[in-house]
Amino acid sequence: MASSNNKRTRIQGINRGIILEAALEVFSTYGFRGSTIDQIAEKAGMSKPNLLYYFPRKEDIYVTVLENTLEDWLTPFRDIDPAGDPIEELRKYTVLKMKLSALRPESSRLFANEILHGAPAIQDFLKSNLKRLVDEKANVISEWIAEGRLAPVDPYHLIFMIWATTQHYADFDVQVRAVMPEQTTQASFFDDAANAILTILLNGVKPR
């Protein structure tokens, strides 16, 4: 009986993952209002009733997809170590954020679209969980500055700058490729872009 329950739970987890992957593609293409349960079910390769067994409403799927995106993005941010070297900690976080945005541009587009519409689905999260985490990391940066390990910069704007810069390569991918057609075809493009961002950003926060 236990083995049967474990198998059922595992299958349910796999099916939920398939649904969420399909929903991410559909939502990032058509937006929340332009997407339908039928589209998501078709993309997931399952019947609509089967999908509704896991997620009764389109809103439930949408919020779960956004929560998963935020969790992926915030895990490396949460892992910034107050006891670590400031430059190295910011470097690691910036590289990871860059890679997440580059590898999952659909997640970045979906999140940006939600924010541009006033964040109706995640407003409470932004004002509670996200704010607490940003306050915590801003305090870490302030301590580094007080210790003379970083230049005196506003920690909140530094965080916003990292977010904006790294997400640019996902949200404005078409523009980047239009302006740099030859460079963007190179396998090393995102590594080169990350190094350029880090050189500009981190040289600006080193102690002077």
Cα dist from 4 to 7, 15, 51, 118, whole Å: 5, 16, 21, 44
Q: What is the pTM of this model?
A: 0.82
Mean pLDDT of 153-178: 90
- Range with the poorest average pLDDT among 2-11, 16-25, 90-99: 2-11
Q: pLDDT grade, residue 154 (50/70/90)?
A: very high
CA distances from 57 to 14, 38, 51, 69, 102 (A): 19, 12, 10, 19, 30
Residue 169 belongs to domain with CATH number: 1.10.357.10
Indicate whether 105 and 195 sit together in one domain.
yes
- Please check whether residues 11 and 74 belong to one and the same domain: no
CA angle 198, 105, 203 (to 5 degrees): 5
pLDDT, tens only, 13-32: 899 999 999 999 999 889 89
Q: Are residues 32 and 86 in the same domain?
A: no
State yes or no: pLDDT of 99 exceeds 80: yes
What pLDDT is attached to residue 95?
86
Tell me, what's the pLDDT at 10? 81
Residue 4 has pLDDT above 60, yes or no: no
Q: Do residues 30 and 111 both lie within one domain?
A: no
pLDDT tens for each residue of 38-70: 999 999 999 999 999 999 999 999 999 998 988
Number of domains in the chain: 2
**Do 46 and 146 reside in the same domain of the chain?**
no
Q: Is 67 found in the same domain as 46?
A: no
Q: Is the pLDDT of residue 36 over 90?
A: yes
- Mean pLDDT value of segment 156-172: 90
Torsion sign over Cα 168, 72, 193, 134: positive
107 with 177, same domain: the answer is: yes
What share of the chain in percent tops pLDDT 90? 54
pLDDT of residue 3: 54
Same domain, 96 and 17: no
Mean pLDDT in residue range 91-104:
86
Residues 182 and 90 grouped into a single domain:
yes
Range of 69's domain? 57-205
The percentage of the chain sitting over the pLDDT mark of 70, rounded to a whole number, equals 96
Query: Are 42 and 62 found together in one domain?
Result: no
pLDDT score of 93: 92
